[in-house]
Amino acid sequence: MDVVTLGETMALFTPNQSGLMRYAVSYSRKIGGAESNMAIGLARLGHRAGWISRVGDDELGKAMLHVIRGEGVNVDKVTIDPDSPTGLYFKEFRKAGDIRVQYYRKGSAASRMSKADVDEDYIKQASYLHISGITPALSASCKEMLMEAVNTAKKNDVTVVFDPNLRRSLWSEEEARNTLLDIASEADIILPGIAEGEFLFNTKDPDELGRLFLKQGAKEVVLKAGDQGTYYYNHGLSQFVPAFKVDTVVDPVGAGDGFAAGYLSGLIDGLSAEKAIERGNAVGALVTQAEGDVEGLPEMEDVQQLVNDENNSED
Which chain residues interact with ligand ATP by CB under 6 A? 193, 224-227, 229-230, 243-244, 246, 249, 252-257, 259, 281, 284-285, 288
- 187-86-128 Cα angle (round to 5): 20
Nearer Cβ to ligand ATP (233/259): 259
Residue 87 CB, nearest approach to ligand ATP (Å): 18
Tell me how far, at minimum, the Cβ of 3 lies from ligand ATP, in Å.
Answer: 17
> Closest approach of Cβ 156 to ligand ATP, in Å?
28
Closest approach of ligand ATP to the CB of residue 199, in Å:
12
> 135 or 288: whose CB is closer to ligand ATP?
288
Exactly one of 163, 251, 257, 293 is catalytic; name it.
257
257 is catalytic: yes
Distance in Å, CB of 45 to ligand ATP, minimum: 15
Nearer to ligand ATP, 87 or 193 (CB): 193
Q: Select 46 or 252, whichever has its Cβ closest to ligand ATP.
A: 252
Which CB sits closer to ligand ATP, 10 or 123? 10
How far is Cα 49 from Cα 3, in angstroms, rounded to an integer?
5
Shortest distance, position 173 Cβ to ligand ATP, whole Å: 18
The answer to whether the CB of 1 falls within 8 A of the CB of 126 is yes
Query: Which one, 35 or 257, has the nearer CB to ligand ATP?
Result: 257
Active-site amino acid positions: 257
